[in-house]
Amino acid sequence: MGDGYAQKVVLEKQFSWGGGLKAFLGEKSLGNYIFWGVTALLTILLIKESFSPSWMVHWSHPKWGTVNVAPVTGIGIGLLAGFMGGAVGAFISLFSIPLYTIWLGLPVKVALGTNSMASAIIGLFAAWVHLQKKTPNMKVAIPMMVAGLLGAAVGAYISLGIPSKTLQLYFSVLVFLAAGSMIYRTLFPAKDEGAAWIKTEKKGFWIAEGAWLGQSYRTDIVTPGIGNFFIAIISGIVGVGGGFLFTPMLHTAFGLPLVVAVGTGNFVKVANIGSQFIVRGVAETVIYPLAIFAMAGGYCGARLGRRLSLAVNPKYLRIFFGIALIIIGLQYVGIKLTSFSLIP
């Protein structure tokens, strides 16, 4: 029997009902018990505050609008968006930003600002985990982070002057493209060949190289930074980190192994979204208590989603959540699926 058969057996075991449930519930350890206890506590608190809120925040700004919101309901945004994003390995902001507007009624620019705080801090934890696993190439990441700080600040500043309806349209287009790409890559997976065309023999400060599980790579550190500058501008306008753009760029265009591209991209994403948070915070578009509860829910939701991806074949999850992302995008732009008419 060859390696293909062995992999097939492993997958069948991995996605069996018994093994899947065990993977989702996690190991019998103190840390896992604490995780489930915290998740249960947050869920109970969310349900209670949804029906009988004990704490309401009145947020108002002459430019950005007015909203009354129960900060604890941010747990629900974090749990749902984190769960969906964790299950497919990306796109958490693409889920959370529409939910802030559709579910809690936040003005779009306030949703972008509040999400930027939650995403930046959660991203720091994710980046730290990757650093411990030694997956990032910091020589590639640092120039991209510097470029991202500048580009995302420019994009976030531009977005403050764009009408809310136009921002929602831009964001919805991004959602549809991401959902379409997710479904397409699930049905027609690309070959993991990296950028074999990069054959430079140069050495020195401007060249980064390394290896991951026997796969060697080398690239310059200037071109990825330039690429991320333009990605960060786009990301800053629509309020996301841009990982779904620069991670494939690092992998396919610059030859980094996928794991290294993801680890490196986590640091770049923190710079991109962190820069937006500074600009949006100065512009007073952040509801801080709501963002804090969204972070707590997002952490638990992302872990649950990641466990689901280990318990269920990820192919089906990506198709399901890709369709869910399309539905959310349609609702966000103001289209009812029941009647196909614009929301008045």
64 Cβ neighbours under 8 A, 6+ residues apart: 107, 109, 110, 284, 285
Contact predicate 267/51, CB 8 Å: no
pLDDT (tens digit per residue) in 116-142: 998 888 888 888 888 888 889 999 999
Query: Is 19 or 313 the better-scoring residue by pLDDT?
Result: 313
pLDDT (tens digit per residue) in 97-112: 988 998 899 999 999 9
pLDDT (tens digit per residue) in 275-300: 999 999 999 999 999 999 999 999 89
> Mean of the pLDDT values across residues 162-191?
85
Average pLDDT, the chain: 83
| Predicted confidence (pLDDT) at residue 341 exceeds the cutoff of 60 | no
Contact predicate 198/219, CB 8 Å: yes
Q: Using alpha carbons, list the distances in angstroms from residue 268 to 4, 163, 199, 224.
A: 36, 28, 25, 11
> Mean of the pLDDT values across residues 263-276?
92
Closest CA to 240 of 75, 103, 91, 86: 91
Q: What is the pLDDT of residue 117?
A: 92
Confidence category of residue 190, pLDDT binned at 50, 70, 90? low
pLDDT (tens digit per residue) in 25-39: 888 888 889 999 999
| Predicted confidence (pLDDT) at residue 12 exceeds the cutoff of 70 | no
Q: What is the pLDDT of residue 324?
A: 86
CA-CA distance, 222 to 199, in Å (whole number)? 16
pLDDT (tens digit per residue) in 201-253: 666 778 888 888 888 888 888 999 999 999 999 999 999 888 888 888 888 88
Q: Which residues of 79-108 are buried (b: 16+ CB within 10 A; e: fewer)?
A: bbbbbbbbbbbbbbbbbbbbbbbeebebbb
Share of the chain above pLDDT 90, in %: 37
Q: What is the pLDDT of residue 39?
A: 94
Confidence category of residue 90, pLDDT binned at 50, 70, 90? confident
Q: What is the pLDDT of residue 109?
A: 93
Q: What is the pLDDT of residue 342?
A: 39
Pairing status of strand 65-69 against strand 57-61: antiparallel
Q: How many Cα atoms sit within 13 Å of 8 on the Cβ side?
A: 5
CA-CA distance, 114 to 61, in Å (whole number)? 14
The 3-state DSSP class for residue 8 equals helix
Q: Using alpha carbons, list the distances in angstroms from residue 194 to 90, 202, 215, 218, 223.
A: 20, 19, 10, 11, 16
Share of the chain above pLDDT 70, in %: 87
pLDDT (tens digit per residue) in 52-89: 999 999 999 888 889 999 999 999 999 998 888 877 76
Query: Is 19 or 152 the better-scoring residue by pLDDT?
Result: 152
CA-CA distance, 53 to 287, in Å (whole number)? 17
Instruction: Quote the tokens at residue 208.
Output: 């980064």
Q: Which residues of 175-186 are buried (b: 16+ CB within 10 A; e: fewer)?
A: beebbeebbeeb
39 Cβ neighbours under 8 A, 6+ residues apart: 300, 304
Query: Is 93 or 195 the better-scoring residue by pLDDT?
Result: 93
